[in-house]
Amino acid sequence: MAYVVGIDASTTATKAVLVDEAGTVVGIGSSGYGYDIPQPGWTEQSADLWWDGAVIAIREVLASTGVAGEEVAAVGLTGQMHGLVLLDDADRVLRPAILWNDQRTAHACDEIREAVGPERLIAITGNTALTGFTAPKLVWVRDHEPEVWSRVAHVLLPKDYVRLRLTGEHALDKADGAGTLLFDLDARDWSPAVLDALRIDRRWLPPTLPPISFTRTTVRSTGGAPAATATCACSRRR
């Protein structure tokens, strides 16, 4: 029998659920962690927590069910929304991830509305600028951490950092892209108009894929799922 592993990289734990071909949940593994509050209203998290948590959770669910890694046919990914993960050109994390519930970006939201135009922003992205979204976090880093900004080569969301560690691939599903405030909803891809207005390099952003598409086979063993396991683009959760 073949199985699917679903990975949820959330704010307080990474979970792995093992499902069989009939859709029955066979087992669940979990690894909990916290996040940092360096200043009031700020929330940050080490990206290593999600990867280490995924490894622990996958090993736990396979060990508890007796399912071999070779029996896992695919891995699906979901996770916390809007968080900002910045990587350099060697895929090294440049700073702790700024999380969805971080509130430091009120001024950056004003900057975005002024740069793009409030009505135009809504017409393109379907949203006004809110502190939780990814784009204000990028603008904040641009304005306050120029040394980090000068080294940025890749921008990912939390679950997609786990994908990168699993597969070596930069990718993001379109549903999560729509939650960044950088997405053209009509074109279903990154908005050149918004990126140009905010001085964000399009080359930093990964290809966007339909949530149910497969990205590629995994290339790194977790001590559980083998290298031939397919990885799904998958989607966000609330």
Q: Where are the alpha helices (DSSP H) in the chain?
A: 47-65, 106-116, 118-125, 134-144, 146-149, 158-167, 174-177, 192-198
Q: What is the pLDDT of residue 49?
A: 98
Q: What is the pLDDT of residue 211?
A: 79
pTM value is: 0.91
Domain boundaries along the sequence of the chain: 3-232
Q: What is the pLDDT of residue 214?
A: 76
CA gap 156, 204 in Å, rounded: 9
Segment-wise mean pLDDT, segments of 10 residues, the chain, 238 residues = 94 97 97 98 98 96 94 93 98 98 98 98 98 98 98 97 94 95 97 98 96 68 56 56
Q: What is the pLDDT of residue 233?
A: 57
Phi, psi of 115 (to 5 degrees): -70, -40
Asked whether the beta carbons of 9 and 162 are under 8 A apart, the reply is yes
CATH number of 3-232: 3.30.420.40
Q: What is the pLDDT of residue 219?
A: 52
CA gap 173, 208 in Å, rounded: 5
DSSP H or E segment with residue 20: strand 13-20
Q: What is the pLDDT of residue 238?
A: 44
Number of residues that make up the chain:
238
Q: What is the pLDDT of residue 208?
A: 95
